[in-house]
């Protein structure tokens, strides 16, 4: 198994995620965790965004047990300007929470949600969608709503879109909880209004 061949294969495909996940599986099954960590760090320096997506996926798998990999996801991967890489960051964060347990991961979720980087926050709001399909949050939807809604007025439209869509998802099963939440919002704030319109889309 050659890294170069995997890279050639994934760079040839412009859209989608499955080929990235498959490439990560191939690398992780063929090398030690230490070597995979080194490869991921190297891959993140590549110009091709597919290579950086691959790096993010590998780090996400390692981060289920390795806090150094988790730190790189938060501090470095979150700074990547390619939206596809940020999609993989969201998937990676959910992978970590799923493996560790969502309730156990609550302090980590809160840490990321309170970060200054909107991409770090979005990795949470987007990664855990649909929140109330996840263990723990299925039984405590109000906890999910409070965590997500915190950034309804954030300056980043990219993040607010994720917030609004995540709340809209929850409204399918918990319409009254979402209705109660948005009734408290200051709709004279244009940023909040933007999020509100997305969040209430499915409410009668």
pLDDT digits (tens, 9 = 90+) for 118-168: 999 999 999 999 999 999 999 999 999 999 999 999 999 999 999 999 999
| Tens-place pLDDT, residues 42-90 | 999 999 999 999 999 999 999 999 999 999 999 999 999 999 999 999 9
Chain-wide mean pLDDT for the chain? 95
CA 139, distance to chain mean position in Å, is 21
Q: What is the pTM of this model?
A: 0.94
Encoding tokens for residue 189?
Answer: 């704030």
Please report the pLDDT score of residue 144 as a whole number. 98
Range with the lowest mean pLDDT among 2-11, 20-29, 105-114? 2-11
Residue 11 burial (10 A CB sphere; 0-12, 13-18, 19+): middle
- CA distances in angstroms from 133 to 136, 169, 202, listed in the order given: 9, 10, 17
Integer Cα distance of 193 and 95 in angstroms? 32
- CA distances in angstroms from 66 to 18, 62, 93, 99, 189, listed in the order given: 24, 6, 13, 12, 41
- CA distances in angstroms from 4 to 7, 9, 81, 137, 196, listed in the order given: 5, 9, 24, 41, 46
């Amino acid at each position: 198994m050659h890294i170069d061949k995997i890279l050639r294969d994934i760079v040839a495909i412009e859209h989608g995620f499955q080929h990235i996940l498959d490439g990560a599986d191939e690398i992780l099954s063929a090398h030690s965790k230490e070597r995979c960590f080194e490869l991921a760090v190297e891959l993140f320096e590549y110009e091709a965004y597919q290579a950086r997506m691959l790096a993010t996926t590998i780090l996400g798998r390692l981060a289920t047990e390795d806090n150094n990999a988790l730190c790189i996801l938060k501090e470095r991967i979150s700074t990547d300007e390619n939206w596809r890489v940020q999609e993989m960051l969201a998937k990676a964060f959910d992978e970590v929470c799923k493996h560790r347990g969502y309730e156990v991961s609550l302090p980590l979720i809160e840490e990321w949600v309170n970060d200054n980087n909107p991409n770090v926050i979005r990795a949470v709001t987007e990664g855990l969608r649909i929140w109330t399909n996840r263990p723990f949050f299925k039984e405590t939807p109000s906890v999910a709503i409070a965590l997500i809604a915190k950034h309804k007025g954030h300056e980043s439209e990219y993040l607010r879109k994720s917030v609004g869509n995540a709340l809209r998802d929850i409204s399918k099963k918990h319409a009254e909880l979402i209705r109660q939440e948005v009734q408290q919002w200051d709709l004279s704030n244009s940023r909040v209004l933007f999020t509100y319109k997305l969040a209430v889309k499915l409410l009668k």
